[in-house]
Amino acid sequence: MIMAQVRIKSNESFEHALRRFVNYCKRDGILADIRAHDHFEKPSERRKRKLKAARRRMLKLKWRAESSLSSS
């Protein structure tokens, strides 16, 4: 695994370089990976979490479809 790093360009502020670093970490999914491995999640818990997310997505799609039909 390659460590995330950002080289500060000449005449670049630290805040701007830090923002680029944070965006780089978000894009590569480093923070999400750290949160996922923060504590052990049993396979049954993972399955329940994924089913709950899928249910939420389906309800959201259904709600959007119904609202677009009623507004037309």
Q: What is the pLDDT of residues 39-71, one digit of tens each?
A: 899 999 999 999 999 999 999 999 988 888 777
Domain co-membership, 2 together with 15? yes
Q: Specify whether 29 is located in the same domain as 50.
A: no
Q: Give the residue ranges of DSSP H helices in the chain.
A: 14-28, 30-36, 43-71
pLDDT category, 2, cuts 50, 70, 90?
A: low
Count of domains for the chain: 2
pLDDT, mean of residues 28-40: 86
Which residue matches tokens 């965006």? Answer: 23
Model pLDDT, residue 72 = 60
Domain that holds residue 60: 41-72
Q: How far apart are CA 15 and CA 11, in angstroms?
A: 12
The pair of three-digit structure tokens given for residue 17, joined into one six-digit string:
């370089």
- Mark whether 33 and 61 lie in a shared domain: no
Asked whether the predicted pLDDT for residue 1 surpasses 90, the reply is: no
Shared-domain flag, residues 4 and 30: yes
